[in-house]
Structure 1
Amino acid sequence: MDQTREALVKPTSNTAAFFAHLAERITKFSGTTLAFCLALGLVLLWALTGPLFQYSETWQLVINTGTTIITFLMVFLIQRAQNKDSLVLHLKLNELIAATKGASNRLINSQDFTEDEINILHQYYCLLAEKAQKENDLGRTHTVEEAEENHQEKVEAHHSKKAVAHHG
């Protein structure tokens, strides 16, 4: 491991590593057919026991409390999984931006930009899309700067042709 990476990697405590492993396993399991079938089976078992407990308030409270607790805990596990997936996706995109010649390094870690900065970039890319559409060449890509230069060159060339035609 190189020195830069060693400086970035923080040791994980045993408790954090255990929780991360447990959360990942529960999250993966909760998305399986078996988990769905178990949940469905519990609901059916609860429904079938209704007559046995005369559909009492306690019988109803069991399913309400159980589903509320499970839902409450799953919200946090799902959010944790989404945060991890999102971070990994951002890292992969950052790697592609950093490795691609001509890509704007300004976009690395753009997930940390303010909403105003994101809106400004969105406007630039809308402008870029308009310019690319006007060129009728879907195979050509640009950075915003290249698009600006190309557009300016075309405008100047067009004005030059008009001036020559007008004077000639």
Structure 2
Amino acid sequence: MNMNRLNNRTKTKRNMVKSLAAFCVGLLAFGFASCDDELDVMQAYPFTVETMPVPKELKQGETAEIRCELVREGEFNGAVYTIRYFQYDGEGTLKLDNGLIFQPNDRYLLENEKFRLYYTSECDESQSLTITVEDNFGNSFEWETEFNNDTDTGEVPSGADTLTIKEGGVYQ
């Protein structure tokens, strides 16, 4: 009878070891099946555009400088950024710091993360425009800028306390 008990215990241990081995093999098979060989590379990172304060009032013929910086939450070498604008009130001209004059709603390549825009008033009424920066992954950042006609002379426009008037009406 002792031999039967010993055989039963040995069989029970073998069955437990076999069950544990089968469980481990099943767990490994599940783990390998749920793995993916491809890396998950994030390409589209959110971004914003930060600007310095701009004057709120411009006379016809005056130019306001808009200092901008593209602030990205991450970087991907293949990211390309473009800029465009739409003017829905008044008349004026917007150009990039390299001298490129923008046409409304046309996209232009942004080559630097820090850039300057120059808006020149071409009317004596209020002006409003929307500026949009987009990447090649479908993300965009948009902001509005408004200028009122300044009928006073010789005064620094309100809201321009961190800016100084430079020759030619350009604000810095």
TM-score range, shorter chain: under 0.3
Higher helix share goes to which structure? 1
Larger radius of gyration: 2
Relative to the length of structure 2, the TM-score reads: 0.23
Higher strand share goes to which structure? 2
Q: Larger relative CO (CA 8 A, sep 6+): 1 or 2?
A: 2
